Structure formats: C-alpha cells, structure tokens
Homo-oligomer: A and B are copies of this chain.
C-alpha cells in the first residue's frame, strides 16, 4: 500500500512497480485529470485505490467554508469525492474519513455509510500515544464497528508501529470479531483479594503469549465472583483465603496452594492449545 500525497505521478510510478494498493489524499491531490489518470492505471493492473480524507489536510475551499475541520467539513469533502466516483467506472475503491476527534470521526462515517456502499477504512488519526491514544482509538473504532460501520481498521499511535497491530487485535477481540490467544478475565484487586492477581496474571499471560488457540482464562481473587467466572472460562483459578480452586470447562479439577495452582493452570492452558 503506497500512501501518496501532493504528487500524483508517484502513484503512477508505484502502480508501474507492482504495488497492491494506492492511497490518494483528495485534500492535496485535487486535479480531476490527474486522479483519473491514476484510476486508469490502477484499473489496468487491478490495483485498489483508497481515497483517504483527513481532517488535517482538507481542501482549502472546504476549510474556508467551515472554518474548522469538523464532521460537516469531512462529510462535504467526501460527498465531493462520491460525485467524482460516479463519473468513473472503477469499483475497486475504499474510502477512509479520519479525524483526531473521536466524535467527528464517528459522525462523519455514520453519514457517509448511509450515502454509499464503498468499503470504509476506519480509525482515529493522530490519536496520540500510550493510554490516552489507545483509549481514543478504541472508543472510535469500537463504536463504529458496533454500529456495523467499518470494513478495515487502522490504529494510528505515535511510537512503535508493532504496538498499533496489537491494539487493533485487542479491539477486535474485545468485540468478539476475532478470537485468538488468551482472553484473560482477572478481577480488580479489591479488599477481598489475598493474592497478587496482577503479578500472577501477567506471569500466566507472558508464559503463554505464543498460543493462538482462543482460550478464555479466569484468574480470580475471591469467592464472590471467582468460582462463577472460573467455571465459565475454559480454564480458571479462584483463590479463596485458604487455597486455590482450579477449574477446567466448568468442572472443579483440584485444590492447590498458590504456586501449585499457577503451574497447573499453565499446564491446563498449554494442553488446550492446538498448536
């Protein structure tokens, strides 16, 4: 996928060299003739084109009209694009409409999803980093996906791009769209808890991070919700004051001390993985 700005001729070159997809920014590649030339070349080689509309690089005349890059400005730039797309005879098109503002992104995508059938690529652009970046991204993408909007996703976080992929994966897991690897159910450490659930859970997770089989694992610190969660997980431990109860698919299979329970849980999970 080649992300092209300003100069359409780079898109032509990228297509010539066999790229799989082209992203064009209609905010800075504006001349219809140039876009048509890219579309024609893409069509010959069956290359997908994504038109990526971004709040940070909207057309000048749209910005003059709206004064700020709000969802109405995003919608109007997308509507102009849809008008243009009617004139061309190519369907291998994806549209993305992104803002760093979560609500503007959601509103603009909602409106455009009603107006066209092109696949939508969704994400919060320039979301930031670490906790607040992950939260903005998750809020935006998960609300849209829950509404049934969004065909591909992009997580845009400042920092190591590998992290972006892991965050996207966890969003899809949270919404039940993808199931892969451990799904950990662990309790907040409240007054009822006698063991260090955080350390135990981290240890279990990191020792089994290679597993791709979807396995729900509960690690619970007390007898209020512990046995209930542990029973309905594929494998689970519920700690009580005296001991740890180990469950396999709803069945109590043993009572152990803390250390023994962790080792047995790891063994259980490993046994359930099909790798």
Please give, as numbers and ranges, the residues of chain B lying within 8 Å of A224 by CB-CB distance. Answer: 5-6, 25, 28, 54, 56-57
The residue on B at minimum CB distance from A125 is B225
User: Nearest Cβ in chain B — how far from A248, in angstroms?
Assistant: 16
Q: How far is the CB of A4 from chain B (nearest CB, A)?
A: 10
Q: Does A69 count as interface, using CB distance less than 8 angstroms?
A: yes
- Which residues of A from 86 to 130 have beta carbons under 8 Å from B? 100-103, 106, 125-130
Number of residues of chain A lying within 8 A (CB) of chain B: 68
Q: Are A126 and B229 in contact (CB under 8 A)?
A: yes
Which of B69, B139, B171 contacts A174, CB < 8 Å? B139
B188 x A229 contact (CB < 8 A):
no
Q: Which 7 A-B pairs have the closest CB atoms?
A: A56-B225, A56-B228, A139-B142, A138-B138, A56-B229, A139-B174, A158-B186
Given contacts A129-B184, A131-B167, A135-B173, 20 further A-B contacts (CB under 8 A): A3-B190, A5-B224, A25-B224, A28-B224, A54-B224, A54-B225, A56-B224, A102-B174, A126-B185, A126-B225, A129-B201, A130-B202, A131-B134, A133-B186, A135-B170, A136-B170, A139-B171, A139-B174, A158-B186, A158-B198
